[in-house]
């Protein structure tokens, strides 16, 4: 699984961590951090594609992720397509919620880096239709929540091939 990282921190911004389990959230709370809980909601804009081909003689399968991997065309082909090109959400999180762990001394207006984004933002896209989630991003604390500073011009890469 590819996570597109943007954890460039030349300004030395504070890094805010994310807890993704009940135990880790409660552990952080006991240490004095304030958990800011959020639902984990997959974006329909983040998706990867695949197709499955099967060897006609052996029954073995292969998973394809690139349209150019077409060894299943024609009646005399060694493989046949058993699952046509399909899109799916390629990321798996064990919990339906997560929490940003807020330090007690954070100041309103402070710019930070959210190391493990809970929200889905596109970090990269491929001209074949796949889109990948951004792993980290700068944000500004407004006193109750983070205002994520996502800008597709600087936070998103576009691949051709």
Condensed to tens digits (0 to 9), the pLDDT of residues 20-49 reads 999 999 999 999 999 999 999 999 999 999
Distances (CA, A) of 131 to 7, 33, 124, 157: 19, 33, 6, 10
- CA 50 – CA 1 distance, rounded (Å): 13
Domain ranges of the chain: 14-45+101-159, 48-88
- CA 97 – CA 70 distance, rounded (Å): 39
Residue showing tokens 């943007």:
6
Instruction: Give the pLDDT confidence score for residue 159 in this predicted structure.
Output: 66
Q: Dmax over Cα atoms in the chain, in whole Å? A: 68
Whether the full predicted model's pTM is greater than 0.85, yes or no, is: no
Sequence-ordered list of residues with C-beta below 8 angstroms from that of 121, at least 6 positions apart, any chain: 43, 133, 134, 137, 148, 150, 155
Condensed to tens digits (0 to 9), the pLDDT of residues 94-149 reads 999 999 999 999 999 999 999 999 999 999 888 888 899 999 999 999 999 999 99
Q: Token digits for 31?
A: 């240490």
């Amino acid at each position: 699984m590819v996570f597109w990282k943007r954890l460039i921190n030349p300004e030395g911004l504070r890094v805010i961590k994310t807890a993704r389990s009940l135990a880790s959230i409660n552990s952080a709370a006991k240490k004095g951090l304030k958990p800011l809980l959020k639902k984990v909601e997959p974006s329909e804009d983040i998706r990867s594609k695949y197709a499955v081909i099967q060897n006609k003689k052996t029954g073995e399968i292969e998973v394809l992720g690139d349209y150019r991997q077409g060894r299943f065309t024609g009646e005399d082909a060694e493989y046949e397509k058993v699952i046509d090109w399909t899109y799916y959400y390629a990321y798996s999180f064990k919990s339906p919620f997560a929490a940003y762990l807020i330090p007690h001394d954070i100041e309103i207006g402070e710019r930070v880096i959210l190391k493990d984004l809970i929200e889905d933002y596109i970090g990269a896209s491929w001209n074949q239709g796949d889109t990948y989630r951004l792993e980290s991003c700068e944000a500004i604390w407004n006193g109750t929540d983070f205002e994520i500073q996502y800008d597709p011009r600087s936070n998103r890469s576009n691949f051709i091939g």
